[in-house]
Structure 1
Amino acid sequence: MASYFERSNRRWLDRLPRNLTDSARSLHPRTLLAAIVVGLITGAVGAGFKSAVNNVLQWRSQLASLLSPIPPLAWLVTVLVSGGMVALSFWLMKRFAPDTSGSGIPQIEGHLDGKLPLIWQRVLPIKLVGGFLSLGAGMLAGFEGPTIQMGGSIGQMIGGWLKSSQEHQRILIAVGAGAGLATAFNAPLAGMALIGEEMRPRFRSQTLAYHGLLFGCVMATIVLRVIRGQSAIISLTQFKRVPLDSLWMFIILGILFGVMGYAFNRGLFKLLDWFDLLPPLAVRWKGFILGSVIGILSLLPLPLTNGGDNAVLWAFNSQSHSSTLILIFCGRFLLTLICYGSGAIGGIFAPMLGIASIASVVIARHFHLLFPAQIPEPAVMAIAGMGALVAATVRAPLTAILLTIEMTDNYFVILPLLVTCLVASVVAEGLGGKPIYAVLLERTLAKQKHGKD
């Protein structure tokens, strides 16, 4: 197959006028075609993965409802199913592919920097199966982690099959990672921004990398929309433009979320240290115990488990008292830290969106009571808050802005979203916090070095 592409590429270049040949070589049609294939496969795998996880979550909910007349049996079955799924996910990860732990974003970033290996033959199947088990059990983790690492693995797989150069394989890995985020959130622009703003890989041909990433993210999004439709990932109210005299509220909101993002990262790093110190017996039972707790909490009529979509929708539609919202916020905040800190497979974007939306609704209610004329639609602050927490923790405000806009189809709130995300990012930086993925990569490299020593 590789020789066929090479011959076709040479024939295509020979037909071009001489003054266009250099430009065509810089774009490298064969690699662009490979990027399209990577996007198509990533979109199909990501959409299928999400559908499978949602189906098992629905099945678990139906099973719990069926057994609800007999509470002891419902609790026992839930503990065995959820605990068993998470325990199996941890076993597969530890036994076959430890580098699939967590979201996988630091691993992809480390590989693009030439610091970590990427072996798609083990990463792709374990991330797929392990992620299905972990997310299907109701863990507080997002689809984007698995789809990003699987997308990067698909890029390496296609590059290897086509016998692409090492440089072009790196480009295809970046394309697959961006397409993975695009698939998770129906957000092609955010997929592109993640690579440029967070991972920041350097390529000899930035033009080729840019066009490849564009093709991959677009094709992945098209496949996703063909499979699930063109509606937003989270269908919320379509908000109008926010009055300019209310932007000061979004500055305050950004400050609050900057502090929250700093606290979130500090708490996560402390929990990671704590999990590293667990004795071997506790490590062996970690998955089952954690999965059992999550399973039991899923029986409660409150959005304390699952990724984040359910929490976002609940926060926007809930008429509950602010004290209830604060309780759910605290619960999800702590559970997100525990789930991600344990090393379970899954992303952190989606849980943070859920946390931020709940906190934002509480803040917006109080602003609306004090200044009803300036903030006629208080829920719009939840849109801004969702992006702000991601910006403060990941330190990638552009990615957060595009992600929030695309996943909710709220394009008119871009100005307050910009203000909130930028302020949150600056405040978190000013407090001395470090970007979450940079720290996670440093920890991974330190463990790798310690293991070699």
Structure 2
Amino acid sequence: MAILSGNVAYFAAAIVIGATVGLVGSAFHFGVDMLAQGWPTFLDTGMGLDGPALYVAAALVAAAMTLVSLWLVRRFAPEAAGSGVPEIEGAMEGLREVHWRRVLPVKFVGGLLALSSGMVLGREGPTIHIGASIAKAVSDLMGWTARDMRALLAAGGAAGLAAAFNAPLAAVLFVIEETRRQFPYSARTYIAVVLASVSSAIVTTSITGSVPFMLLVVPEVPMGMYPVFIVLGLLLGAVGVGFNRTLVWSLNTVRRIGLRWSFYIFPAVVGLIVGVLVFALPEATKGGEILAVTLAKEGRPLGILALIVVLRFTMTMASYSTGVTGGIFAPILALATTIGLCYGTAIDTVVALPDNGLQALAIAAMGGLFASTIGAPLVGVVLVMELTGSYGILVPVMLTTIFSNMIAQSLGGRPIYEILLDRTLALEAEATASPESPAKAPAPAVPTAPVA
């Protein structure tokens, strides 16, 4: 009877966590959308700026938003930098601590500013970290064991992913596949993850509607086209490994600049560039979810698509390396879509693709690049299905995704969140071992070591 009572309380807590995350996540997304549209409209229409004056004003606004976001992170919660997923995985493994009291406000406000500035960052990272922080707050309140607490961290993170993309099944699978090393499996903990994801999805859909987040329905494609999807997977496997290595190189390079000069110089430059691009070339800014759907429907020339690929790849590296709050899920999906369209358009110039073949390749590319960068092919397949609603091309998406993951592994690729967690731990150890480390002096109010 005591066990039953304990389970009821635990499951009830999971439902409350999920519903709360759905509410907070929806508020976060609404705020990002409003602010991201609001400040450019104000400069353009409200103030009537045009030409160079508009670009200068936009550059200054975006740079200011970026710098304030970074200041909040570095001053109050360094662990709130980046997506937050490595932090949650580290906490589930007992290697990191979730300081929810400072992470929650910094992740919300800092993420609001960073994403609204036009940075090429995703909103799923902040909502996952926010979700896990809410779960930690509930766990602390209830006084549960470390095992139960770690399971609730996963439940809160899954609820955050469900709120970000309206994809509850992919959120549950994310816990199973991505945190397979850390998640404490049992019937009790697994049910808690499912309940949190479902309750988050219910709240989210009641606010935003039940339409797929990136609706792009494509019917079946002929089986004779399947080899084209396999080759796409082979290409994306190599691209994913290159993406991860370039991201780490970018983080290390920017960190060296920060240690030598100032951690605010590079973010200020990126913010200025992003502000100009918001008006000059909006395709190179923001998370890119809407862009991905738009490009898949428009059929732009190969040269333009290739330019967008280069710009978005570069701006993703630059944006994430600033150290502000923001994820990489959405940028990866948008980049993948554009790569898939480039690939399909190139083929179509030689051999005509069937109807909707181009869109099918764009959708499959999402799963492929997700699998090679994040290292979770099953999540990639299900996430793409839930995001687009294109269940008719499940098999081609599976082919692209699994072959991409196979190539990434054969090239020595590792999941990006695993790499980022290892990097964070290494930097922390390096700071502790340094003669000038804060550990050798009175401890500051908050940790100041740079975190990926």
Q: TM-score under structure 2 normalisation?
A: 0.92
Structure 2 match to 1:242: 221
For residue 259 of structure 1, the aligned residue among 238, 244, 259 is 238
Q: What's the counterpart of residue 51 of structure 1?
A: 30
Do the aligned partners of residues 350 and 376 (structure 1) sit closer, same or farther apart at CA in structure 2, a change above 3 Å counting? closer
User: Residues 327-406 of structure 1 correspond to what in structure 2 (within 5 A)?
Assistant: 327-372=307-352, 377-406=357-386
Candidates 88, 109, 119, aligned match of 2:89: 109
Q: Does 1:36 align with 2:15?
A: yes
Q: CA shift at 1:309, angstroms? A: 1.2
- Listed as ranges, the gaps of 5+ residues in structure 1 are 1-12, 15-21
**Matches of 1:189 and 1:126, distance apart in 2:** 28
CA–CA separation in structure 1 for the residues paired with 2:190 and 2:49? 57
Matched, 1:422 2:402: yes
What is the 5 A alignment of 1:13-412?
13=1, 24=4, 28-66=7-45, 67=47, 69-202=49-182, 206-236=186-216, 238-278=217-257, 279-372=259-352, 377-412=357-392
The alpha-carbon distance between structure 1 residues 68 and 330, as it changes in their structure 2 partners (threshold 3 A), is: farther
Q: CA deviation at 1:31?
A: 0.6
| 1:12-35 deviation per Cα after TM superposition (whole angstroms, max 9, x unaligned) | x27xxxxxxx7x47x811111000
- Deviation for aligned residue 1:345: 1.1
* Alpha carbons of structure 1 residues 127 and 376: separation in structure 2 relative to 1, 3 Å: closer
Partner SS state of residue 358, structure 2: coil
Could you give the per-residue CA deviations for residues 380-431 of structure 1, whole angstroms, max 9, x where no partner exists? 1100001111110111101111111111111111111111000001101111
Runs (5+) with no aligned partner, structure 2: 434-452
In the alignment, the residues of structure 2 paired with residue 145 and residue 380 of structure 1 have an alpha-carbon distance, to the nearest angstrom, of: 27
Partner of 1:444: 424
> Partner amino acid for 1:196?
I
Report the TM-score, using the length of structure 1 for normalisation: 0.91
Task: For residue 266 of structure 1, report the CA deviation from its aligned partner.
Answer: 1.4
**Cα distance change of structure 1 residues 30 and 381 upon mapping to structure 2, 3 Å threshold:** same
Helix, strand or coil: the match of 1:242? coil
Work out the number of aligned pairs and report it. 431
Distance 1:86 1:376, change over 3 A: closer
**Which secondary structure does the structure 1 equivalent of 2:95 belong to?**
coil
| Amino acid in structure 2 at the alignment position of 1:251 | I
- Deviation (angstroms), 1:310: 3.0
For the residue of structure 1 that corresponds to 2:280, the secondary structure is coil
Aligned position for 1:434: 414
Change (3 A) 1:308 1:48: same
Alpha-carbon displacement from aligned partner over 1:220-252 (angstroms, at most 9, x marks no partner): 01111001111111122x211222221111100
Q: Distance in 2 between matches of 1:163 and 1:376?
A: 54
CA distance in 1, matches of 2:204, 2:399: 31
Alpha-carbon contact 1:101-1:344 (below 8 Å) kept: yes
Overall identity of the aligned pairs, in %: 33
